[in-house]
Structure 1
Amino acid sequence: MIARRRFMKSFALALAGSMLASVASAASPPRPRTTAESPPNIVMILVDDMGFSDLGSYGGEIPTPNIDALAKTGLRFTQFYNNARCSPTRAALLTGLNPHQAGMGYLSGKIEPQSRGTFGRLHERSVTIAQLLRRSGYMTAMTGKWHLGNRPGTTPATRGFDRSLSAVAGGIYFSDQTFGRRRARRHLLRDGKRIGLNDPSLGDDWYGTDLWTDWGMRYIDEAREKKKPFFLYLAHTAPHFPLMAPQPDIERFTGKYRAGWAELRKERFERQQQMGLIGPNTGLGKVSEAADDWDSLSEEEKERFDRIMAVYAATISRIDRSVGRLTAHLKGTGQFDNTLILFLSDNGGNAESGPQGRTGAEPWGGPNSNVWAGMNWAVLQNTPFHSFKHFTHEGGIATPLIAHWPAGIAADLQGRLERTPAHVIDIMPTLLDLTDTPYPENFGRSAILPLEGMSLAPLLRGRTALRDKPLFWAHEGNRAVRDGRWKAVKRLGYPWQLFDMDTDRTERTDLARAHPSRLRAMAAAWDQWAERTYVDEWTDDVRRADWGAPMTTSSRSASGVREH
C-alpha cells in the first residue's frame, strides 16, 4: 500500500517553498517563570475518538462539570490540532516529531519493509517525554491505551515509563468483556508484563475509565512517597468503539437525544457562538449527502439512534467523573496547584461504520455489545466542522485542549480562550521548557531528530508564541498545510482546496481559484516537508467514503456534502 517516496529536488520547488508566507517571525520571548517553588507535576489526559464539541466547555450538552471547571480556571485552546488518527497523534504527542519521523506513519502494527516512516512502533530516532523527564528526576507513569507498538522494545516500560498499566490497543472497558465473533480474550501489560483482564490485582468488575484513573492515582501516590515530581500520561480508551458504559449511566441519557443530530447540532453551534469559541465564520460546516434526515426516520429508528448516543454520552460523562476523582485526589494531597493538567483528544469524531452505526448484542453498551456511534452522530460530535477522523479537514484534526495549572498560569488569564494555532508536536517542547529539561542530540546509541514543535509555555504567561514554519498533515493520502490564517487541504482523489481560517474556520468557501499562486506554494511546501520528514507515498488511490471506509460501488455516492 505504501511505497518509499522519491522526490526530485528542483530549483522550482525550492522557489515555491520560499514563497510560502509563514507566521511572522521574531525573537522568542523570554522563558516564562512559574510561580511554583518546585518543578510542576504533569498529568496529560488523552481521550480516544472524542468530537470537538462533546464537552460542555466546547458547546456540548453532555454534562462535564469537572472538565469544564478546569477550562474555567485554565486556558481553553480553540485552534489546537491532532494528526487525524490514533497512533500518529500519540507518536507526535510523546516525541515532538511528526508521525513518520517517529516511525508511526500509520497505525501500530503496520510495518512496511521499504518504508522510511511506517515501522509500526516508535523508532529509535525519537525519544519520548517520559525518557527525558525521568532524566530530570521525575517519576513517569502511564495508564490506558498505548498503541505505539507492543513488541519487545516498544512498550511503555521500555520507552521511559517507570510504572505502567497499558492496553495493547483500544476498546477495552470491562473485565468480562468479549471481543468479536470468536470471543477472543485480550490482555493488559503491567510494567511491560502480560496480565489478563481478570487478574486479581485489578479487582473485580472494573470499568476501564475508572481502572486507568485508579491506577494513575496509585502511581501519583508512589511518586509522592518517593518525594519526586510526577509525569502521568493517562490515555483513556473511551469513547472509542465498541462503546460501553455501566447501564445506570446509559439510562441517565436515554431519551435525551430524540431531537436528532441536526437540531442538537444547531444548539451546540449557538452555544459555541455565545462563548466566542469559533470566532467569525460563515456558518456550520457542510454535512455529507449520505447523512440521514432525522425527521424521515421511523419511531423505531429514532429510538435506536437515541440509545446509541446515550451510550456515547455515558462514556463521556464517566470520563468527566474520573477527572473529578483525580482532581479531588490531587487537592487532597496538596498537589493540585502545582500540577499542570492537559486534556485533549487523539482525533476528531469517529464516523466509522457509516450513517447507521452498529449495536450488537443487548444490552447495548454492555460487555457483549458492539456499539459504534456512526456518521450521523459524528456530525453532531464534530460541531461546527465537517468531516471526521481519517481526514484533514477541521472535523478530523481539531481537538479541544484544556491547560490547567494554578501555580503556573497567570490569574488574569484563567478562563481565557487561547486562539493561537497549536499542534500535538508542541506538547513535548512545552513540557521540556517548563521543566528545564534539555533535549538531546543523541539518546542511548541513537541520533535523535530535532524537535518539530514549538514551546507553548509563553502562552501560559500571556505572551506570544511565534511559529517559524507551517503545520503539516499526511494520513491515508489526505494532506493539509496550516500557515497563519491560511489552510490548504487535499482529500485523497480530490484537488487541493484553500480556506481563510480567520473568516471561515468551518471550511465552507474554497478560495483555490481566487489565490492560485498561494495554493501552489503551499502544496509545494507540503512536498518538501513530506520528503524531509520521511512521509511515505500513499499508493492506494482508492477513494474513501466520508466515514473512512474504502469506496465500493454502493458507497461511491457518499462522497459529496450538502448543507445541513
Structure 2
Amino acid sequence: MTNKQKIDRRTFLKTFGPAAAAAGPLWLLGGLPLSCFRGERSQKPNIVFILADDLGYKDLGYCGGWTQTPNIDKLAAAATHLDQFYVQPLCSPTRSSLMTGRYPMRYGLQAGVIRPWAQHGLPLEERTLGEALKAAGYTTAICGKWHLGHLDYRYLPTARGFDHQYGLYNGAIDYFTHIRDGALDWNRDDKPLHEEGYATDLIAAESVRLIEQHDFSRPLFLYVAFNAPHSPFQAPPAYLDMYKSIEEPRKRAYAAMVTCMDNAIGKIVSAIDKRGIRRNTLIFFCSDNGGMDIVSDNRPLRGQKGLLYEGGIRVRAFAVWPGVLEPGVVVREPLHMVDMFPTLVKLAGGSLESKNGRPLDGKDAWATISKGQPSPHHEILLNVTPFNGAIRCGEWKLIQNGHLEGNYNGPMPTEHKFELFNLAEDPYEKNDLSQKNPQKLEELKIRLKFYADQAVEAHILPSKMPKDFRIPKAWGHPDY
C-alpha cells in the first residue's frame, strides 16, 4: 500500500469532488500572493488547529457534498490530506485525546460526554497541549468550545495552559443567546461575558482579532474549536436564505451552519495572509466525530456520530503549510487524534515529558504526514468502554457491540457481538469476517482486552439533569 500518494488534478477532483476545481492557482502555490511570504515570522511555526463539531464525512463541497464551502475547498486544495484519520465517537473524548495525547480510557472520559452538571472534568494530573506548547515558548489561545470540564476554576482553559480563552464550556448552547439549560455559557479569559451575536461569527471575530494583534516574534498556538454544526440547528437568516430549496428545517439550518462556519474559516485564513505569516503557519482542520444522520451525510462510510463504525470515528482531515507540506498529497496511513499532541509538540521543539510519568498513546506522526513514511502505529485503540470497544491492527478492525452508541448508559449486555472487517478490502464495513477468520478474531479480541484491562473507571452520567441539581447563573462560575 502506498504510504503517501501525490495525485494529479483530475484524480483529486475525482477523489474529493468537483468543488475542488474552485481552488484555481491554490493547487500549485497555496493560492498565496507573494506578499504573504514576507513579514514577521518566528523560527517555530505558528499552529492554527481548526476543529468542526459533528461534521459529516461527505458534507463539504470538496468532498462532493451538498453544502457551499468555498473557503474550506480552497484550503483543502492546498493541503496534504489524511485519508484515514481517526477520532473518538463523541465530543469530549476527542477533545481530551487532542489535549493529552492519551486515550480517554486512561482518565475516565471514554464513555459519553462531560455534561453541564458533571462533577468531573479532564483530570488535573493530565498535561495538556496548551501547557506543553506554552512551555515551548508559544502564546496559547482557545476560541470556541472547551467541553473538558468546568467544575471549578482549576478545570478551565486558563488554568490548563491557555493564555487566552474565549467561548463556551459545554456543547449544545443556543447560538444566539449563549444559554445552555438556563445558564450563560459564554466567557472571555474564563470570566462570564454577556455579548450579542451568533456564536460562529463571534468565534471567528475573536480569532481574527488575536491574529491581528499578536506579536509574531513569539509563535502562536490558536485552537479554534467551533461548536458548529452541532445542534441546536440554528443559523442567521442570510445563510438560511441560501438553502431555500431544502424543505426539512433541521437540514436547512445544518447546511446554513456549515456555510457560516466556512465563511468564518475564510476570515481566519485571510487574517493570517494579511499578517504575512502564512509561510510559517501550519493550519490543521478536522471534525471531532462523524455527523448525525438526521442532518448530515457520512457516505460512503458506515455509521454516524456515537458509533464505532467508520462513519462515527473516521473524519476528513488535512494540513496546510506552504513550502513544507505538498498540496494534493493523500496520506493513506492510519493515524489518530492522540498523535496530534506529540506531533505538534515535537514540531514546536517542546518536551513530551508527562506529569507523573504518564505515557503517551499518541506517536509523532510528522514523518508520516510530511514524508509518506508508514504509520508509527501497529495498532490503534479506537475506544473501549464498559459496554463496547473497537481496535484497528493494520488492515484489520474489530468492533465489539457496534450497535451501542457512545452515550449508552444502560444495563450491561448479556451477550457481546463481535464484528471483524478487513478495511483494505472492505472500507465500508459491509462484510463481517469473524466467522471466516476465527484466528484473526481471537488475536484482535486479545488486543482489545489488553486495553480494557488497563482502563480506569468511566465517568458515566445520566443523560438528564438530576432534579436536585442547582443551576448556576453562569456555567463554570458557581459564585457568579
- Give TM-score, length-normalised by structure 1: 0.69
Which residue number in structure 1 is paired with residue 155 of structure 2?
154
Question: Residues 114 and 147 of structure 2 are in contact (CA less than 8 Å); yes or no, is this contact kept in structure 1?
Answer: yes
**Which deviations, in whole Å up to 9, do the C-alpha atoms of 1:399-440 show, x marking residues without a partner?**
11111111421xxx3111221111100100110121111111
Residue 217 in structure 1 maps to residue 223 in structure 2: no
- Asked if residue 56 in structure 1 is aligned to residue 84 in structure 2, the reply is no
Query: C-alpha displacement at 1:308, in angstroms?
Result: 2.4
Per-residue deviation, 1:109: 4.5
Q: Does residue 1:188 correspond to 2:194, yes or no?
A: no
- Structure 1 alignment gaps of length 5 or more: 1-23, 25-34, 113-118, 199-203, 258-302, 352-373, 541-547, 550-564
* CA offsets 1:309-347 (integer angstroms, 9 cap, x no match): 111111001111111111111100101121111111111
Asked whether the 8 Å contact 2:172–2:180 carries over to 1, the reply is: no
Output the CA distance in 1 between the equivalents of 2:366 and 2:218: 22
Which residue is 1:316 aligned to?
Answer: 258
CA contact (8 A) 1:488 1:522 kept: yes
| Equivalence for 1:124 | 124
1:68 maps to which residue? Answer: 73
2:92–2:148 contact (8 Å) kept in structure 1: yes
Residue 419 of structure 1 is matched in structure 2 by 332
Report the equivalent of 1:362: none
Mapped pair 1:479 → 2:389: yes
Matched, 1:461 2:370: yes
Alignment partner of 1:344 is 2:286 = yes
User: Cα deviations across residues 204-229 of structure 1 (Å, max 9, x unaligned)?
Assistant: 4x1111111111122223432x6311
- CA–CA separation in structure 1 for the residues paired with 2:264 and 2:460: 39
State the SS of the aligned residue for 1:342.
strand
Q: What are the superposed Cα offsets for residues 145-196 of structure 1, whole Å, 9 maximum, x if unpaired?
A: 111001221000100000011312123354446666xxx2423222122223
What's the CA shift for 1:448? Answer: 4.2
Residue range with higher mean Cα deviation, 418-427 or 530-539: 530-539
| Contact 2:378-2:394 within 8 A present in 1 as well | no
* Number of the residue aligned with 1:142: 142
Q: Does the 8 Å CA contact 2:42/2:218 hold for their aligned counterparts?
A: no
Name 2:243's counterpart in structure 1.
253
Seen in structure 2, the aligned counterparts of structure 1 residues 498 and 246 have a Cα distance that, compared at 3 Å, is: same
Q: Measure the CA separation in 1 of the matches of 2:428 and 2:448.
A: 22
Structure 1 residues 46 and 247: CA distance shift in structure 2, 3 A? same
Look up the match of 2:454.
532
Q: 1:172 to 1:487 in 2, by over 3 A?
A: same
1:256-298 Cα offsets, whole Å, 9 max, x none, are x4xxxxxxxxxxxxxxxxxxxxxxxxxxxxxxxxxxxxxxxxx
Contact 1:95–1:102 (Cα < 8 Å) also in 2: no
**Other-structure match for 1:44:** 49
Work out whether residues 347 and 398 of structure 1, in 8 Å CA contact, stay in contact via their aligned partners in 2.
yes
SS at match of 1:426: helix
Paired residue for 1:505?
427
State how far apart, in whole Å, the 2-side matches of 1:535 and 1:66 are.
42
| RMSD of aligned residue pairs (Cα, Å) | 2.6
Q: Distance in 2 between matches of 1:435 and 1:208?
A: 30
Report Cα offsets for 1:64-83 as digits up to 9, x if no partner: 11111121111112111111
CA contact (8 A) 1:408 1:460 kept: no
Tell me the secondary structure at the aligned position of residue 420 of structure 1: strand
Spell out the pairing of 1:302-381 with structure 2 (5 A cutoff): 303=247, 305=248, 307-351=249-293, 374=294, 377-378=295-296, 381=297
For 2:360, the equivalent position in structure 1 comes to 451
Q: Is the 8 A contact 1:55 1:64 kept in 2?
A: yes
Is contact 1:474-1:535 (8 Å) kept?
no
User: 1:102 offset after TM fit, Å?
Assistant: 3.9
Q: Structure 2 vs 1, CA of residues 236 and 441 (structure 1 numbering), >3 Å: closer, same or farther?
A: closer
SS of 1:422's equivalent? strand
Compute the displacement of 1:532 (Å): 2.2
Letter in 2 for 1:158: A
Q: Could you report, residue by residue, the CA deviation over 1:227-261 in whole angstroms, capped at 9, with x for unpaired residues? A: 31100111111111101111121111121x4xxxx
For residues 343-375 of structure 1, the C-alpha deviation after alignment (integer angstroms, 9 at most, x for no partner) is 111111124xxxxxxxxxxxxxxxxxxxxxx3x
Which of 219, 223, 231 is the aligned partner of 2:221? 231
- AA aligned to 1:334 is G
Q: TM-score, normalised by structure 2?
A: 0.80
In structure 2, the residue corresponding to 1:125 is in which secondary structure?
A: coil
- In the other structure, the counterpart of 1:241 is 231
Native 8 Å contact 2:105 2:384 kept in 1: no
CA contact (8 A) 1:440 1:448 kept: yes
1:314/1:441 Cα in 2 relative to 1: closer, same or farther (>3 Å)? closer
User: 129-138 vs 527-536, which deviates more?
Assistant: 527-536
Relative to structure 1, the CA distance from residue 484 to residue 387 in structure 2 (aligned partners, 3 Å threshold; closer, same or farther) is same
**Which amino acid in structure 2 is aligned with residue 213 of structure 1?**
A
Q: The residue matched to 2:143 in structure 1 has which SS?
A: strand
Which residue in the other structure is 2:308 paired with? 392
Does the CA contact (< 8 Å) of 1:92 and 1:424 recur in 2? yes
Asked if the contact 2:109/2:458 (under 8 Å) is kept, the reply is: no
Q: CA deviation at 1:121?
A: 1.0
Contact 2:178 2:199 in 1 (8 A): no
Larger Cα-atom Rg: 1
Tell me if structure 1 keeps the 8 A contact 2:108–2:457. no
What secondary structure sits across from 1:252 in the alignment?
helix
Partners of 1:136 and 1:311 in 2: CA distance: 41
Alignment-mate amino acid for residue 189 of structure 1 = N
Select between 449-458 and 464-473 the one with higher mean Cα deviation: 464-473
Residue 532 of structure 1: SS of its match in structure 2?
A: coil
Residue pair 2:79, 2:327 contacting (<8 A) in 1 also: yes
Structure-2 change in CA distance of 1:314 and 1:475 (3 Å): farther
Measured at CA, do residues 164 and 179 of structure 1 come closer, stay the same or move farther in structure 2, by a change above 3 Å? closer
1: distance between equivalents of 2:459 and 2:141? Answer: 35
**In the alignment, residue 426 of structure 2 is paired with which amino acid?**
D
Could you tell me how far apart the structure 1 residues matched to 2:120 and 2:158 are?
Answer: 17
* Aligned-residue offset at 1:478: 2.6
The number of residue pairs the alignment matches comes to 411
Helix, strand or coil at the partner of 2:232: coil
